[in-house]
Amino acid sequence: MTQDVEMKELPAPSNSASSSPPSTLQHLKEIASLIETGAYAREVRRIMRVVRLTMALRRKLNATVLASFLNFALTPGSELHGRLFSYLPKEDEHDMDVDTATSGTQIVAKHSLPELEIYCYLLVLIFLIDQKRYNEAKACASASIARLKNLNRRTVDVLASRLYFYYSLSYELTGDLAEIRGNLLSLHRIATLRRDELGQETLLNLLLRNYLHYNLYDQAEKLRSKAPRFEAHSNQQFCRYLFYLGKIRTIQLEYTDAKESLLQAARKAPLAALGFRVQCNKWAIIVRLLLGEIPERTVFMQKGMENALRPYFELTNAVRIGDLELFRNVAEKFSDTFNSDRTHNLIVRLRHNVIRTGLRNISISYSRISLVDVAKKLRLDSANPVADAESIVSKAIRDGAIDATIDHANGWMVSKETGDIYSTNEPQFAFNSRVAFCLNMHNEAVRALRFPPNSHKEKESAEKRRERQQQEQELAKHIAEEDDDEF
């Protein structure tokens, strides 16, 4: 007797190769194909897209993937191929992630494009910096810069600007930033002659960073004032320029211009650039304190910045109260933080503002107070605090910080009655500054709008041209007939 057997449907075999996501090497091959298309079509926007795609793959790069890509993009055995391979660390062959799938986007390796060569330099340089192999990164960056000097192609400019940045970064990480200053100046001159505006932006910022790293503020200002001016092409480079300009203006005691530049840099910076925005806010807080302003509490409570801005919050609180002893304690407590941020010299300048704030609070609270009590409340620790208090009060009265008089015979400070501020022009000036700020922001937003080139000009096809010419002929005939009827 035969037994019935239950037959179950077997699942269809799945093609794991087609359903699996593409590997990092496959992504790099697609980027190489995009570089080839952009180079032949001379489309810079494709090269800009290449840079964005590469930054997304940055964390997935390893020596094995880079070796496979170099074999794909460059001629094996060539000088460039051997040089780039020498920078890569040797790994076990079993760890190699080789893409065995055949790709239709193969590039003829016998005649590599200059854009592809520079891109290979960029990939290897990024990998070496991420792996903290700074000496090899310096050698790779120097070789790439030597190759760039012989190329004058607009499609290379975008990749060159990134190479300039990592070239400077590799030397900064090893403490040898001063060695490349002359080379950066030479590259900036070459970029100016070639009208490479993106390269000029990047190199100008790198030179400013180079000068400011060694506290050469006068040389930085001379370079900035004489460098050619043009419309910004990169928002990131423009933010860096505003930040460096704000630092230069702060050291030169031009606090109003410095405040505007620093706040604009912090506002324009991308949300992902948290470290950059923190630095901008630190300097902006110090500048506002030097101007006699007290930043709002919301400035210190921004997302992700609470811990980094904590020392500056306590410093602001000491300045707001006018307590010189508290200010001194905060400066000593966070001295390491202020030295690492390079704001310690600016905080020393704040001592006078703390004294003036405390004196203003005293003048508001007391109609008459002795200079001895003023010295005690300000906590002056000099040899002759009464004489110092008298000179401080005299200077504050002369500068208009307080409305008071000094009775030298009795040793008193006599405050005058506080007038109605709305009877003065102060509200008008404050309102005017806010309106001007809003109008300036609107104008900058309008200027920052970007449109495709010649988007307002529609390309006319042959059929539309014939229709237009026919309509023009009919209109001319109609006008001629009307003229005949009038006669």
Q: What is the pLDDT of residues 211-263, one digit of tens each?
A: 998 888 898 898 888 887 766 677 888 889 999 999 999 998 888 888 998 99
Q: Which helix (H) or strand (E) holds 224?
A: helix 217-226
Look at residue 246 in the predicted model and tell me its pLDDT: 92
Look at residue 102 in the predicted model and tell me its pLDDT: 37
Q: For the chain, give the number of residues.
A: 487
Q: Is 407 helix (H, G, I), strand (E, B) or coil?
A: strand
Identify the residue whose tokens are 């390309």. 459
Degrees (nearest 5) of the Cα angle 191, 194, 199?
30
Contact 284, 293 (CB under 8 A): no
Amino acid at the residue 180: I
Contact 402, 415 (CB under 8 A): yes
Strand arrangement of the beta sheet that strand 368-370 belongs to? 368-370, 412-415, 404-407
Maximum C-alpha span of the chain: 133
Cα 476 from Cα 479, distance rounded (Å):
5
Of the candidates 216, 215, 124, 217, which has an alpha carbon nearest to the alpha carbon of residue 170?
Answer: 124
Question: How many other β-carbons are positioned within 10 Å of the β-carbon of residue 22?
Answer: 11
Cα 310 from Cα 207, distance rounded (Å):
31
Cα 311 from Cα 201, distance rounded (Å):
33
* pTM greater than 0.85: no
Look at residue 459 in the predicted model and tell me its pLDDT: 55
Q: Is 370 helix (H, G, I), strand (E, B) or coil?
A: strand
Degrees (nearest 5) of the Cα angle 255, 256, 259?
80
Cα 476 from Cα 473, distance rounded (Å):
5
Which residues of the chain fall short of a pLDDT of 50? 1-19, 92-111, 485-487
CA dihedral 228, 232, 234, 238 (to 10 degrees): 80
